[in-house]
Amino acid sequence: MRMRKVKWAVEYLGQSKKKAAHPENRRGSWHSDKKKLHVELGCGKGNYSLEMAKLYPDDLFIAVEKNESAAGIAAKKFDESECDNLVLIHGDAADLGQWFDLGEIDVLHLNFSDPWPKKRYAKRRLSSSGFLNVYRSLLSSDGEIQMKTDNGPLFEFSVVEFLNTGFVLSELSVDYRRDPHPEDSITEYEEKFIRLGQPIYRCVFKKGDYAK
Ligand SMILES: C[S@@+](CC[C@H](N)C(=O)[O-])C[C@H]1O[C@@H](n2cnc3c(N)ncnc32)[C@H](O)[C@@H]1O
């Protein structure tokens, strides 16, 4: 779904306190005093990272979004929050390796990523093997990827890609919100699908040892 253009977004992003102006300059030094480094790719309007930052104040949450309008809204929400453990990167997940060092990320979150249903665009899916191999190198040794989606075909595709790139399955659900999960916040898209009564697919894959 295409997002309506938010007129103030560009200007706001230029002055936001929680938007990283030069994330490449912080490569290798994000952790500081925080326990775990979480990165959400395609954060949309930012609710998930914001709520998770409140739930886990000792961890650092970095939300990445390429769409200017969504990023502007997320930046404003982050600035208005009291959280000191929340950063926005306005950029493309394809550039992840420029902002994070090898082994620097503890948890990667893929929430309701664009499905790119046509086969010829499969490489653009954030859970396709090209991306997964980059994530693998940036994850810490006990790092993991948590993925949620409403999209069955994307979920099936992703599970196979995770397994083919050496990730180790740790959790899997085809109706995650059947049980309460107060430890994991609900995203904007997720809220919509829950309201429609649609099941939420979720999996967690650990980096594991990969000796290929
Ligand atoms: C379907 S929306 C989901 C938003 C949010 N995660 C949620 O669950 O409510 C997907 C978001 O990912 C962003 N996105 C897609 N590809 C991206 C990429 N390569 N880098 C950064 N953001 C991306 C889109 O702009 C969009 O805001």
Is the pLDDT at 186 greater than 70? The verdict is yes
Distance of CA 81 to the CA centre of its chain: 19
pLDDT average, residue stretch 151-174: 98
Ligand 1, atom nearest to 191 Cα: 9
If one counts the domains in the chain, the total is: 1
State the catalytic residue, choosing from 58, 114, 142, 209: 114
Percent of the chain at pLDDT above 70? 98
pLDDT at residue 155 in the model: 98
In a domain, 3, yes or no: no
Nearest CA to ligand 1 atom 16: 42
pLDDT digits (tens, 9 = 90+) for 56-73: 999 999 999 999 999 999
Query: Domain range spanning residue 31?
Result: 9-206
Enter the tokens of residue 68: 């200017």
In a domain, 211, yes or no: no
Please say if 101 is a catalytic residue: no
pLDDT average, residue stretch 28-43: 92
Are 93 and 67 in contact, with CB atoms under 8 Å apart?
no
pLDDT at residue 165 in the model: 97
In a domain, 104, yes or no: yes
CA dihedral 126, 150, 168, 42 (to 10 degrees): 30
Is the pLDDT at 211 greater than 70? The verdict is no
Residue 79 belongs to a domain with what CATH number?
A: 3.40.50.150
pLDDT at residue 157 in the model: 98
Confidence at 1, pLDDT banded by 50, 70, 90: low
pLDDT average, residue stretch 117-135: 98
pLDDT at residue 207 in the model: 97
Is the pLDDT at 163 greater than 70? The verdict is yes
Taking the C-alpha atoms of residue 159 and residue 204, their distance in angstroms, rounded to an integer, is 10
* Residues in contact with ligand 1 (CB, 6 Å cut-off): 41-44, 64-67, 70, 92-94, 111-114, 187-190
- Look at phi and psi of residue 163 and say left if phi exceeds 0, alpha if psi is from -120 to 50, else beta: alpha
In a domain, 177, yes or no: yes
In a domain, 212, yes or no: no
In a domain, 2, yes or no: no
